[in-house]
């Protein structure tokens, strides 16, 4: 990693955030596969750390939450017991987005049960100040998770979209049926019916699928390790929040939320990486070579 110059690092990161696979990135940049994966891991760790520390104390009026499916290694129904032990199977990304600023307030990569729901909602609550209106789908673990995280200081509604049976053409295009209605359920407080929606977070799901090869359906670009999957998600949301100018807002979500004053560049993302250090063995070898030169 230490031998990569800043230009090559930036080129690799640009490829990854634009939806290129690891091997395609290697072909375009000339970098080795292990080098690309190591850079992804370092960037993912740095982005997750920065997000955890800085994306806090937010004034959010309307929070939309959803979860998006993917898999690691193989789908759960196709993975063996041994493969599941090593982390293969279905994996879910929980997403909470501010409907006004389009800022992704929180994300979490893991399972889809009540424990993960509670962890996700508690993280959302820890980053928001004041009362907030929350909208989710009808996934049952949200019921206890939202109340447990926010208490009574929340206006919470669940929304379920009702789809008609897909036509033959829609089935051939791998598309869901047409939405023919919605069913809203007030759970806590007094949510405004005009703002009970999950449209923005579902649109963010599409952005994630288009921007990360690991989420693209019907390809072999899926993640092979859960850790790398989480790193890719962290890199994507860091770039989305701070670098990518939203077409409607004309600024980045971080700027709209008051977390940044200008759009970030890829070089700014790379600056989050820890400074490379020279190992002691390299220093000793350099001193040894100098000593040989002086003695000669």
The model's pLDDT over 156-215, given as tens digits with 9 standing for 90+, comes to: 999 987 777 777 665 666 666 777 777 889 999 999 999 999 999 999 999 999 999 999
Bridge partners of 135? 64, 157
List, for residues 235-260, the tens digit of each pLDDT value.
999 999 999 999 999 999 999 999 99
Distance CA 167, CA 176 (A): 9
Burial call 148-184: b when 16+ CB within 10 Å, e when fewer:
ebbeeebbbbbbeeeeeeeeeeeeeeeeeeeeeeeee
- Cβ atoms of 74 and 83 within 8 Å: the answer is yes
* Dihedrals phi, psi of 18, to nearest 5 degrees: -100, 10
Name the DSSP class of 223.
B
Domain 6-275 sits in CATH at 3.30.420.10
pTM to 2 decimal places: 0.88
Name the DSSP class of 276.
P
């Amino acid at each position: 990693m230490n031998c990569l110059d800043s230009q090559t690092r930036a080129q690799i990161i640009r490829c990854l955030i634009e939806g290129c696979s690891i091997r395609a990135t290697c072909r375009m940049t000339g970098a080795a596969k292990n080098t690309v994966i190591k850079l992804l891991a370092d960037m993912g760790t740095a982005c997750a750390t920065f997000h955890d520390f800085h994306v806090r104390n937010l004034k959010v009026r309307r929070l939309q939450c959803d979860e998006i499916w993917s898999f690691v290694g193989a789908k759960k129904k196709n993975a063996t017991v041994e493969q599941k032990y090593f982390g293969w199977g279905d994996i879910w990304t929980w997403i909470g987005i501010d409907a006004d600023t389009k800022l992704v307030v929180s994300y979490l990569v893991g399972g889809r049960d009540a424990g993960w729901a509670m962890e996700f909602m508690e993280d959302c609550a820890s980053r928001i100040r004041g009362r907030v209106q929350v909208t989710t789908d009808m996934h049952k673990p949200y019921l206890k998770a939202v109340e447990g995280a926010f208490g009574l200081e929340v206006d919470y509604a669940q929304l379920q979209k009702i789809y008609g049976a897909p036509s033959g053409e829609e089935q051939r295009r791998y598309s869901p049926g047409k939405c023919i209605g919605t069913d809203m359920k007030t759970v806590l407080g007094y949510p405004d019916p005009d703002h009970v929606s999950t449209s923005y977070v579902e649109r963010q799901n599409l952005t994630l699928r288009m921007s990360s090869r690991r989420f693209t359906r019907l390809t072999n670009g899926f993640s092979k390790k859960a850790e790398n999957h989480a790193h890719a998600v962290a890199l994507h949301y860091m770039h989305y929040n701070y670098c990518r100018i939203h077409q409607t807002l004309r600024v980045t979500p971080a700027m709209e939320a008051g977390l940044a004053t200008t759009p970030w560049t890829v070089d700014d993302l790379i600056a989050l990486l820890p400074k490379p250090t020279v190992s002691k063995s390299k220093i000793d070898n350099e001193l040894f070579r100098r000593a040989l030169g002086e003695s000669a």
